[in-house]
Amino acid sequence: MVKSFAVIGVGNPFRGDDGIGVFLIQKLIKDKLFSNESIDLIEGGIGGMNLFHLIGSYKTVILIDAVDFNASPGECIFFSSDDIGSSNKIPSTVSTHGEDVFSVLKTVKKYTDNPPRIFIFGIQPKKIAMSEGFSEKIQQNIPVYLRKISKQIREKLRELD
């Protein structure tokens, strides 16, 4: 059964800023901002092929992840998976997980009968080495990220109505 809408936070919380996607999804779940909506908020961990079936079981998916799009640390961007590699702003290898998450997205689109609309809320990391905690700029911007991702979720929910 294909479900309607999911927001999936991915990343490794033991690799500094790379854990921001997991942190933000945990915060959205804890704060129950969308508890009255028909939306699944999911902690996707470090991603990998386990995301294939998860992503493919929805009509619309927003991934929250640390993304290297050659910007200043802490900047964020919202884009469609169709935009990956199709512009100067979003290179074809943007995930801090290497090709991992984005190769899963390509595989979902290729091998799913009705591929979902996939969007990425990406945050430019400063540090992704083994360490706990976020860089200062990421830490300072957490309220901004929550506002912006909430706005994008509401917009996509309206589109589903």
The Cα 146–Cα 15 span in angstroms is: 21
Element (H, E) at 117: strand 117-123
Specify the length of the chain in residues: 161
pTM of the model: 0.84
* pLDDT per position as a tens digit, 8-65: 999 988 889 999 999 999 999 999 878 777 899 999 887 666 777 788 888 899 999 9
Per-residue pLDDT of 91-121, as tens digits, reads: 444 454 444 666 666 666 665 666 678 899 9
Q: How many helices (H) and strands (E) does the chain have?
A: 4, 5
Compute the CA torsion angle 55, 50, 11, 120 (nearest 10 deg). -20
**At a CB cut-off of 8 Å and minimum separation 6, what does 31 contact?**
none
Amino acid letter at 40? D
Query: What single DSSP character describes residue 35?
Result: T
Give the β-pairing of 117-123 and 76-80: antiparallel
